[in-house]
Amino acid sequence: MKMLILFLFFFSSVSFAAETISADVANIESLDKRPYFKSHPDWVGIPMPYGPVEKIREEVEKRKGKKLQHRSEAHITVITPAEMRILSQTIKVNTVEKVVVKESAMKAPVKVLCLKKVTVVLGKATEESWFISVSSPELLEFRKQVWRRFVANGGLPDDFQWKRWSPHITVGFTSRDLHDEDRISKEKADCSYDLKAL
């Protein structure tokens, strides 16, 4: 019986052991390496260091034997374009950006979790999107502050779902990035690779 338990433990450990990719996690998480905040007309994002993200993309390309499209920059989307359209019913983009500065969102700590992938069939092609899953209670609090302003100005509380958010840094994609509108959930996606700090 003990031998059977040991065999099952060993088998499950081998089967479910996550592969790892070495990554410059410290630089991704570093507040000092974070680029300057840039204004966008219809969404709000926190810029992140691109170099370490590019290295992860190159490693994925090597392991998977395929090239991924990318934007040559890295960021965490805090307010999506779809959410901004809802928020614009009662508040303006520049008001949201003032909250970014006031609430020190640019200096919000971020914790790297792992590398994930989502897939979806569009037409006859299977599309992929790779991203670094992160956590940041401070950025979630920022979304809550925006929601409070939205509601205070007359917005319906349920229109902006501030808790429904999957913070991540897009690494690359096959033809285009995938979003909630593609009926995928980046929040529920399993880790494809652990990111091992250099």
Q: How does pLDDT run across 6-17, given as a tens digit for each residue?
A: 434 444 444 344
Question: Residue 157: pLDDT band by 50, 70, 90 thresholds?
Answer: very high
Specify the DSSP element, H or E, that contains 86.
helix 81-87
> Which residues make Cβ contacts (< 8 Å) with residue 76, sequence separation at least 6?
45, 46, 48, 110, 134, 136, 139, 167, 168, 169
The separation between CA 35 and the C-alpha centre of its own chain, rounded to angstroms, equals 17
pLDDT band at 103 (very low <50, low <70, confident <90, very high): low
Flag whether pLDDT at 81 surpasses 50: yes
Q: How many CA atoms lie within 13 A of 22 on its CB side?
A: 1
Contact between 23 and 52 under an 8 Å Cβ cutoff? The reply is yes
Q: Rounded to whole angstroms, how far apart are CA atoms 103 and 98?
A: 8
Instruction: Classify residue 106 as left (phi > 0), alpha (psi -120 to 50) or beta.
Output: alpha
Q: What is the pTM of this model?
A: 0.86
**pLDDT at site 117:** 96
- Residue 16: the pLDDT is 44
Residue with token string 């934007």 = 71
Angle at 76 between CA 69 and CA 64, to 5 degrees: 35
